[in-house]
Copies of this chain bind each other. A is one copy, B any other.
Amino acid sequence: MSKRNIYIDNIDVELALEKYFSEISFDFKSEKISVLDSVGRVTYKAVYANYCSPTYAASAMDGIFLFSEKIKEATEVTPVYLNENDFKYVNTGNPLDLSLGDCVVMIEELIELEDGNFKSIKNAKPWQHIRPIGEDIVAGEMLIKSNHKILPQDLGALITGGIKEIEVYKKPMVAIIPTGDEVIDIFKEEFKEKSVIDCNSYIFSAQIKEWGGIPHIQEKLKDNYNEMKKKLKELSKNYDVLVVNAGSSAGSKDYTKNVIEEIGEVIIHGVAIKPGKPTILGKINGKPVIGIPGYPVSAYLAMDIFMKPLLEKMTNIFNVENFIEGKLGKSIVSSLKHKELVRVTLHKNKDEYIVMPLARGAGITTSLSKADGILEISKSVEGIGLGERVKVRLLKPLKEIDNNLVSIGSHDIVMDLIGDSIKLCSTHVGSFGGILAIKQRNTDIAPIHMLDEESGEYNISFIKKYFPSEDMMLVKGVERIQGLIVQKGNPLNLKEIKDILEKNIKFVNRQRGSGTRILLDYWLKDENLDYINLKGYDYEVATHLDVAMAIKNGTAEAGLGIMEAAKIADLDFIPLAKEEYDFLINPEIKNSEKIKEFIKFLKSDFLKKKIESLDGYSLNKPGEVIEIKCSR
């Protein structure tokens, strides 16, 4: 153990803490606990869903379940009459057998006839008011990031995703050591005249509990050098942190410093703070040992200044502020009939918080665990426009939110991997949406994979087209295989895109603007196929996993997507093309620390190993920077 002591009489608080933390090697331990006991604890690893939610296609409304085909022609002039053989009554949440229908119509939208039958004057689309399997949660999807303090609302996603046990950071065990001959503990001893009552040990205990540690008050130490030496040595083996509280007698303070010096190291002694100046920051056996002055006011404040950040560092627990002001990143329409509580995510853009509304359906548990805050829209407001300033009630500590790297663009499973290692706030709007977000400077990065129909080149020609007068920066990501996701064993024997049309297969499509959709359209055009003949071309979902889940549950028979999604859902996959999934960077922050850290992560061995464990991915210089010079 080094004996190098730094006696700085009056070092600044911030400097003292920085110096101290740099000399401690934090050894983070984890433990598995029941999800039911996990609120307030911090996740050690990311948590992935075991089950989908809903686990079956379910009715989203009270009404009737039928084939949309039946009322395809219904209008006020040409009503369609339905008798009880045409439909089945369903309530909200009821499982639906998709061989018996493909949409739900609300009772209010039908006209009941005297014979108990119905008249419909309105048509319906397939999937109307049906919650597909996995609408909320898809098995295998990340539910909660690592290093996140678990909130009551997170239990929703965790339990719904079938998680019963969770790995969290262990709480640090803190030994509180009162010293001083004249100190008495009125909870253990009789009160004596001319004695000092120890209140500090109990204040420390309450503070440490609040800050996420487990406090143990030790037997009082007499003012005896050798006894203290023996005791501190012993405690440093069994505890994560020691706090020695000096008695008010002058001698004991020096004992503490000298003992730490002899069996460990005093790193800081004397900080420029009042009260609290004589605080000692040291270590014994690698464990932090803090010597706190005796007067109760100094003691309380010194704990607040030194112990609190130490425990924050050891537990990753930060306090939640109450409210924050931000700028709305997407307009919201609300009704004058009620006050509305919108779940939002937050990210910093320049010096401002951008407030993005999340999915508003009450069935989406993950909108709670994903939410950084809640935006209240009062009854008298009909909506809030893009760019308006709003006040958000925070659900997470700002420290968790502040360094988020903002990603708006195409979805890929790689984004989940990145999000667990880098603080990421990721929105999935497809490649084209990503390009727009960069144009409006609403995002830090935009993951894109866009095939130029003419050149066959990925991404670069699109960037040149949309940013003709700017120097842009593209960072290489991963190569991934796109192909057909089909049922297990490929019973329909599908081999290429044209088989889908020829065999009249039920297809599931990705949303307009997504790279996968562009790829499909490119192939259809390339082979002179008409999308009008593609059954399910209008059935749009937002992610690769959603495509796989639709096939898994029989809603569709094939879809275009990536190999890893097929694997997660235990389906078959027919590879068709290799595509380039890269990151377009917001030019204003291309030299920032955030982006440097992101590029460093893309080049890391850690990511390399993770990617290699996924099916259908390969690496082609991830993190490589391509400068795309302005063409004018």
Contact = CB atoms under 8 A, between A and B. Distances in A.
A525 to B, nearest CB: 41
Interface in A197-223: 197-200, 202-203, 205-207, 209-210
Given A210-B152, A273-B340, A338-B277, A36 B202 contact: yes
A162 B197 contact: yes
A273 B319 contact: no
A159 B187 CA distance: 9
A272 interface: yes
Interface residues of A, number: 87
A297 interface: yes
Interface stretch (A51-59, A116-124, A426-434): A51-59
A575 interface: no
A554 interface: no
B339 A13 contact: yes
A322 interface: yes
Interface string A281-318: 00000000000011111101100010000000000000
Stoichiometry, as copies per complex, reads: 2
Interface in A364-398: 364-365, 367-368, 374, 379
A618 B587 CA distance: 79
Interface string A58-102: 000010000000000000000000000000000111110000000
Contacts of A319: 322
Contact of A338 (B54, B273, B362): B273
A362 B278 CA distance: 12
Contact of A274 (B187, B274, B340): B340
A62 B368 contact: no
Contacts of A251: 91
Contacts of A337: 10, 272
A199 to B, nearest CB: 4
A274 B55 contact: no
B193 A56 contact: yes
Contacts of A374: 301
A160 interface: yes
Contacts of A300: 152-153, 156, 368
B362 A298 contact: yes
Contacts of A51: 191, 197
A468 interface: no
Contacts of A275: 341, 362
Contact of A296 (B92, B191, B210, B368): B368
Contact of A341 (B152, B207, B273, B365): B273
A378 to B, nearest CB: 9
Contacts of A95: 194
Interface string A509-539: 0000000000000000000000000000000
Contacts of A134: none
B159 A199 contact: yes
Contacts of A160: 197, 199, 296
13 contacts: A55-B194, A55-B195, A91-B249, A95-B194, A152-B210, A156-B296, A156-B300, A164-B187, A272-B379, A273-B339, A296-B363, A301-B341, A301-B374
